[in-house]
Amino acid sequence: MAIVSGLGASDVAETSTSTANSVSKSPALNDWIAQVARLTQPDQIIWLDGSPAERQRLIRRAVEVGVLIPLSESKRPGSYLHRSNPNDVARSEEFTLVCAPSKDEAGPTNNWAPPDETYAKLSGWLAGSMRGRTMYVIPYIMGPAGSPFAKVGIEVSDSIYVALSMGIMTRMGDVALEMLGDRDDFNRGLHCTLDMNPDRRLICHFPQDNAIWSVGSGYGGNALLSKKCFALRIAGVLGRKEGWLAEHMMILGLQSPAGQTTYVAGAFPSACGKTNLAMLTPPAALNGWRVFTIGDDIAWLRVGADGRLWAVNPEAGYFGVAPGTSAKSNANAMRMLERDTMFTNAAMTPDGDVWWEGMDTEPPPGLIDWQGRVWSKDSKDKAAHPNARFTVPMRNNPVLSPHVNDPRGVPIDAIIFGGRRAATVPLVLESTDWTHGVLMGAMMGSETTAAAVGKVGVLRRDPMAMLPFCGYNMGDYFAHWLKMRGTVRRPPRVFMVNWFRKDRDGRFVWPGYGENLRALKWMLDRIHGRIGARETPVGLVPNEEGLDLAGLALGADVLKESLAVRDDEWRVEMNSAGEFFTKLEPHMPAELKERHRSLASRLSGNGASKRSASH
Ligand code: GTP
Ligand code: SPV
Ligand code: MN
């Protein structure tokens, strides 16, 4: 077994050859790597340093072995296409386990297995699993280096695709080893693709050990262990202990024409609009406004000395949904993807570019679909997988906030919860206080999307967009949110939004995308006390003249429908949330149940005829 720092035997001369025990200054890290190597038996171990030269070497190797297909240097410079195993195209929630010491700690919304048994079973699968393969040691930082928010993780992986993705998604390499120094408080992530067999696929979290073992998948959220596994499930447990929040939220800065910037964090379930909102282009009629991106998927939120909630984006890149991204829907994303991007499961044009549904360009003849087959307009299947993704460094984002690397983070004045709801939930709804805001988050429901394996379009409860990402008991998670009110002396205002309401013909009522700025603007007007609102039993909605609709031809009936709060629909909603809360007993906080009861009691008993829940 060759143990080298840098890539491959031929590169040894230009880096330093080291022994397993002297690569990092952390004895705990070196011991752990030696232990993993004894178990998995790789042919060689490569510690990634994160340098551009190393990245180029890794890319060359990935192209040689067919993991990456180079795209046209003139059309997409520095960009590559990856085609995954067709059985491995989305997060696998049924194979995701929280192996806390007791089932009760994981709670009823997580799959649980006993830690000892799971370690033993996976050790069996992993024994000798990297024979003939290279083991990459991937040190990374979540959060800006030197920030009090920042945490170090080490992912060990046998996948060059994972190694390259982690180089985009995190601050990866020597910078992380430097931050770790000789300490032992790093997240231990062990990833092995095995034979990509769904029968031997498990993504296991051990919060008590700050450890993750993921086997049998190479897909984003299953395999890039920094992301959902560490930054949400494990970090959530750490945050509860240490008094902060790890959330599935985008973070944006909204600058008014007067130059004042307000920061907003928003939780939307997977494939429900975070990336798009975080980099939206204001509509022409509101062009004095500007949006700047802090993050598109994950927020770590802490209480500042000023009693406000401050947020950082722990990531350094975006792993975003490609389909639906066009010059019209998200011009900033299209510009960001012009270079240095890895695409996964997109279609490829004969001249070496990518294509996907909703790109708003004609698919060219001779298009190759995501599985490498020739595609035509008559094909039944989509050319790009509905969960095709791009992996791109945040520095490519033309509207990246100058504060994205600020170690203090940014102060959050509004939190938004938004699901994908064909009915019931209005365009924007404001809570009256923190407890009501927490209840809004806890009551969230959303229709499932292609981001996770399973049926698409099924309404399910997805509190705070965290159903698949909360690493401990969901009832305790609600209690933690309520408890934060004690330390957040100047809490953000909490809103619920819905960009996805549909009319009778199944068309979206609201134009969405850049037009969502109008809802954000209303929130700012509310926060700064500039505008009134209409009271409903479940919260405050804009008066019809309250939304700035300049330049938007929206029929009066459409506006009315967007803002409608109907008692009969909300009775169904309240009941559904109530049933969900019952499942969380005995961990469900009394304060939330009480507020839920009191809101439900305000809905008219039998005002409208009982419609079925046609969400
Ligand atoms: P994850 O990366 O899975 O967490 O997803 P996300 O929440 O970042 O969602 P994203 O912004 O990538 O959007 C997912 C899909 O919803 C894409 O196909 C978008 O085009 C579409 N979408 C985003 N915003 C809107 C909107 O305001 N209206 C409509 N109709 N579709 C939207
Ligand atoms: C999501 O599914 O919410 C994503 C993509 O952001 S993944 O990294 O796969 O979780
Ligand atoms: Mn996400």
Query: How far is Cα 242 from Cα 592, in angstroms, rounded to an integer?
Result: 23
Asked whether 329 lines ligand 1 (CB < 6 A), one says yes
Looking at residue 611, what is its pLDDT? 42
Residue 612 Cα to ligand 2 midpoint, Å, equals 32
236, containing H or E segment:
helix 235-242
Give the atom of ligand 2 at the shortest distance from the alpha carbon of 389: 5
DSSP E strands, 143-244 = 151-157, 171-172, 187-192, 202-206, 211-215
Q: Give the pLDDT confidence of 389-405 residue by residue, as tens digits.
A: 999 999 999 999 999 99
User: Do 341 and 79 form a contact (C-beta atoms < 8 A)?
Assistant: yes
Q: Which residues contact 278 (CB under 8 A, 6 or more apart)?
A: 250, 251, 252, 266, 291, 293, 294, 295, 296
Which residues are the active-site residues? 272
Q: Residue 12: which pLDDT band, with cuts at 50, 70 and 90?
A: very low
Q: Residue 609: which pLDDT band, with cuts at 50, 70 and 90?
A: very low
Q: Residue 22: which pLDDT band, with cuts at 50, 70 and 90?
A: low
> Taking all residues of the chain, what is their mean pLDDT, rounded to a whole number?
94
Question: Is the model's pLDDT at 614 over the cut of 80?
Answer: no
Looking at residue 269, what is its pLDDT? 98
Q: What percent of the chain has pLDDT over 90?
A: 94
Q: What is the mean pLDDT of residues 18-42?
A: 86
Residue 609 Cα to ligand 3 midpoint, Å, equals 38
Q: Give the pLDDT confidence of 78-115 residue by residue, as tens digits.
A: 999 999 999 999 999 999 999 999 999 999 999 999 99
Residue 292 Cα to ligand 3 midpoint, Å, equals 19
Residues with CB under 6 A from ligand 2: 91, 220-221, 227-228, 270, 297, 319, 451
Q: Residue 605: which pLDDT band, with cuts at 50, 70 and 90?
A: confident
Give the atom of ligand 1 at the shortest distance from the alpha carbon of 320: 2
Question: Is the model's pLDDT at 186 over the cut of 70?
Answer: yes
Question: Is the model's pLDDT at 194 over the cut of 80?
Answer: yes
Question: Is the model's pLDDT at 608 over the cut of 60?
Answer: no
Asked whether 265 lines ligand 1 (CB < 6 A), one says no
- 134-142 vs 44-47, strand pairing mode: parallel
Name which residue sits closest to atom 4 of ligand 2, judged by CA: 270
Question: Is the model's pLDDT at 11 over the cut of 80?
Answer: no
Token pair, residue 22, equals 């002297």
Question: Is the model's pLDDT at 128 over the cut of 80?
Answer: yes
Query: How far is Cα 71 from Cα 59, in angstroms, rounded to an integer?
Result: 12
The residue ranking higher by pLDDT, 287 or 234, is 234
pTM: 0.95
Residue 365 Cα to ligand 3 midpoint, Å, equals 33
